[in-house]
A and B are shown apart, each in its own frame.
Chain A
Amino acid sequence: MIWAVPDDDRVFKALADPTRRHLLDRLFQHDGRTLTELESELEMTRFGVMKHLRLLEDAGLVVTRRQGRQKLHFLNPVPIRLIHDRWIDKYTEHRVSALAELKDELEGIA
């Protein structure tokens, strides 16, 4: 899994910015949008939004596709899933589920 390391770095860097997370949230609510649509919801220059989208695209979190004359931006959740699989599933699944069970027990659900 050596390949996973530089990939993860780019994902974490891309996510370490509130504007970029906001852009992902916008795409989560409504996927497949143009730069103009995304720009209209942010207090930012077109150039600034483009720069953020480029970083998200480099990290694989946004994928662009041409549809007719438009370039649409899509949210790609797979890199986040890979981080989840790597860190949660592999190393901490048992601990996480033990904590979840403890929580259930303390809250009287189990």
Chain B
Amino acid sequence: MTTTTTATATQVYRVFIKASPEAIWEAITRPEFTERYFHRGRIEAGPDRVVSRGPDGELRRDDEVYEYDPPRRLVHAWLPLYDAELAEEPPSRVTWEIEPQDDGVTKLTVVHDRLESSPKTAASVEGDGWMFVMSGLKTLLETGEPLSG
């Protein structure tokens, strides 16, 4: 997906999940959940920082949290430390919006923006990156199983 187009400064991803806002909040802020769908990353989000570690404990991200409003809204910086080229770019921003709908379904929207000056980061998360995470999160919450592969 990244080969045919220029990555844009704002990317939006949305998925509807048959789960409560509280369940989604837990799944995006606690490492025992994130390691099952977020590229095996153990992510822990609190009111001040969101820290992500790889399976061997290596630090992947350590970002400032701008807004922490459980179980509705989480806004944080995004500076990948796992890749030297990406780590040199300015931090971008990720917003998680969790909105309950009818019938026990919750709308989850991820907006990844402030990517104007971070084209390599934009290309690295665009398309497959976030889609894999959103699809895996939905599968985990609805079936209890992580995606195969």
A63–B138 CB distance below 8 A: no
For A65, list chain B residues within 8 Å (CB): 10, 12, 111
Q: Is the interface of A mostly helix, strand, loop or mixed?
A: mixed
A69 at interface by CB-CB < 8 Å: no
B135–A31 CB distance below 8 A: no
A95 at interface by CB-CB < 8 Å: no
Contact with B along A75-91 (1 / 0, CB 8 A): 11111011001000110
Q: How far is the CA of A29 from the CA of B5 in the complex (A)?
A: 6
For A31, list chain B residues within 8 Å (CB): 8, 10-12
Those of A12-50 within 8 Å (CB) of chain B: 28-32
Count of chain B residues with a beta carbon within 8 Å of a chain A beta carbon? 29
B142–A7 CB distance below 8 A: no
Contact with A along B29-71 (1 / 0, CB 8 A): 0000000000000000000000000000000000000000000
Known contacts A32-B8, A63-B109, A82-B138, A89 near B147 by CB under 8 Å: yes
Those of B101-143 within 8 Å (CB) of chain A: 105, 109, 111, 127, 130-132, 134-135, 138-139, 142-143
For A7, list chain B residues within 8 Å (CB): 16
For A75, list chain B residues within 8 Å (CB): 12
Q: How far is the CA of A82 from the CA of B15 in the complex (A)?
A: 9
Q: Which 9 A-B pairs have the closest CB atoms?
A: A74-B12, A81-B131, A31-B8, A63-B12, A3-B18, A76-B14, A78-B15, A78-B134, A63-B14
Would you give 21 A-B contacts (Cβ < 8 Å), ordered by A? Answer: A1-B142, A3-B16, A3-B18, A3-B105, A3-B142, A30-B5, A30-B8, A31-B10, A31-B11, A32-B12, A63-B14, A65-B10, A75-B12, A76-B14, A77-B1, A77-B13, A78-B14, A78-B15, A78-B130, A78-B135, A89-B148
Residues of B within 8 A of A (CB): 1, 4-5, 8-16, 18, 105, 109, 111, 127, 130-132, 134-135, 138-139, 142-143, 147-149
